[in-house]
Amino acid sequence: MHRFLLGLIQLNSGTDVDLNLQKCENFIREAASEGAKLIGLPENFPFLGSEKEKLERAEEIKTKTIDLLSDISKKLNITILAGGFPNPAPNGKVFNTSIIFGPDGKEKFEYHKIHLFDTDPGDGIEYRESRTVESGHIIPETYKSPELGNISSVICYDLRFPELFREIMKKDAEMIFVPSAFTKITGLAHWEVLLRARAIENQCFIFAPAQTGTHLKGRETYGHSLVVDPWGNILGDAGEGEKILLTEIDLEEVQAVRKKIPALKHRRNI
């Protein structure tokens, strides 16, 4: 399939897991009814609350998330990217995990976020993801979907590390998801330019479903879920608020751009 309809779901997730997942299901069903075959959810889609509660409820969040998305992907015959949710780690922390569910309802891809958001960006909130999250250590694989093409994913803060994307390109990726809960202050400054840069550098599609609005304790996320093509063009921008961003994807653009400027073939080890 060279052309297909992509659906990115932009959310304002909170602490009510059941409500968050119900919103996800409603949006997924709506996107599928419009013809979307690939649907992406943002980071923290089933829960965005306190770190303490995240740890306490990690097993519940994981189980409910996987049960829902496995079931609905099979029922609707679609592929879903679960953008980032807590997955219990052996040391008492959690992994921030993304999973791709195929149209048969089975897990096709799993990735644990490598780069953790330990920063003070200037919005009055101290972010220390490593207090509760264990860093992953495995480069994302590529799911070679017979229906859609070659799909991979990073998570949010990974966006700032271009070397990770270069490693993914060694695994034949044509599309890379960047599910995120980007802060408003950093989103205003860097979101668009970084996403476009990663698309241009790697001559691939970038799909970035995002959190939006105000969350627990005044935390603000930027929204503006984006779809960027391999030439760096923005094909879709969700702006602010909860919604579905539907975009037609022509996968032939990947090879067309790589033929125009074969930069990936011209790389040298220096």
Instruction: Indicate which residue of 23, 24, 43, 110 is catalytic.
Output: 43
Q: Which amino acid is residue 133, in one-letter code?
A: V
Would you call 43 a catalytic residue per the annotation?
yes
Q: How many whole angstroms from its chain centre is CA 150? A: 15
Instruction: Indicate which residue of 23, 62, 113, 184 is catalytic.
Output: 113
Distances (CA, A) of 261 to 84, 168, 208, 264: 33, 19, 24, 8
What is the distance between the alpha carbons of residues 139 and 12, in angstroms, rounded to a whole number?
Answer: 29
Instruction: Indicate which residue of 54, 64, 156, 220 is catalytic.
Output: 156
Strand partners, 4: 249
Residue with tokens 């070659």: 150
Would you call 113 a catalytic residue per the annotation?
yes
Under 8 Å between Cβ of 143 and 150: yes
Strand partners, 227: 207, 236
Under 8 Å between Cβ of 208 and 236: no
Catalytically active residues are 43, 113, 156
